[in-house]
Amino acid sequence: MHGGGHERGMRSGTLATHQLVGMGEACRIAQAEMSSEAARTLALRERLWQGLNDMEEVYVNGDLNAHVPGIINISFNYVEGESLIMSLPELAVSSGSACTSASLEPSYVLRALGMNDELAHSSLRFSVGRFTTEEDVDAAIAQVRRAVEKLRELSPLWDMYKDGVDLDSIEWAAH
């Protein structure tokens, strides 16, 4: 094999052969199970969304039809994303909120989807995978509902929304 002459010229390259074989086998399995897995993860994702979408001011982002089956991005209006993550210690989710990075800008992806900054700051990305069960999804639903309720009690924006104030009309004293 041409190359840098590694392995005493036996085989150039420092690639881990066993990992290569493993990757190939994983791809074979993925291809064989792709349709059934897609259906399964889609059902779980739907279950998650159905468990949350009756809450007030909760929106799904992106087109659920032209969409990878196992991921869903949801905005919980008037609750900031990072504080939501903090309330969900048992879930590995990520936030469109700026606070999760060194920059204070919200996710450019969510912005490109047409979302305003505030909703972008209030979004969580959930994903379900090969080992996710219905019990996992149900537990996540319960935790998310509790967390959103608790954080809305702390939120001045939720107060204002409940009082019928139009948040777009306010002149914010931003820093």
Partner 1 sequence: MAYSDQVMDHYQNPRNVGKFDDDDAQIGTGMVGAPACGDVMRLQIKVNDLGIIEDAKFKTYGCGSAIASSSLLTEWVKGRSIDEAAQIKNTEIAEELALPPVKIHCSVLAEDAIKAAVEDYRKKLSDA
Hey, which residues are catalytic here?
99
* Residue among 34, 39, 64, 167 that touches partner 1 (CB under 8 A): 167
* Residue among 153, 164, 166, 169 that touches partner 1 (CB under 8 A): 153
The answer to whether 106 contacts partner 1 (rule: CB under 8 A) is yes
Stretch that binds partner 1, among 8-16, 57-65, 73-81, 139-147 (CB under 8 A): 73-81
Stretch that binds partner 1, among 18-26, 44-52, 79-87, 134-142 (CB under 8 A): 79-87
The answer to whether 43 contacts partner 1 (rule: CB under 8 A) is no
Stretch that binds partner 1, among 33-41, 53-61, 65-73, 154-162 (CB under 8 A): 154-162
Going edge to edge, which strands form the sheet with 123-127?
A: 58-61, 71-76, 123-127, 94-95
Smallest Cα–Cα separation from 88: which of 45, 145, 130, 154? 145
Contact by Cβ (8 Å): 73, 125: yes
Based on CB atoms, which residue is closest to partner 1, 53 or 116?
Answer: 116
Give ∠ CA 64-133-129 in degrees, rounded to 5.
55
The answer to whether 81 contacts partner 1 (rule: CB under 8 A) is yes
Based on CB atoms, which residue is closest to partner 1, 2 or 175?
Answer: 175
| Joined tokens for residue 162 | 């409940």
Smallest Cα–Cα separation from 84: which of 121, 128, 138, 132? 121
Smallest Cα–Cα separation from 69: which of 127, 155, 14? 127
Question: Rounded CA gap, 107 and 96, in Å?
Answer: 5
**Residue ranges binding partner 1 (CB under 8 A):** 78-83, 86, 97-100, 102, 104, 106, 116-118, 121, 153-159, 167, 172-175
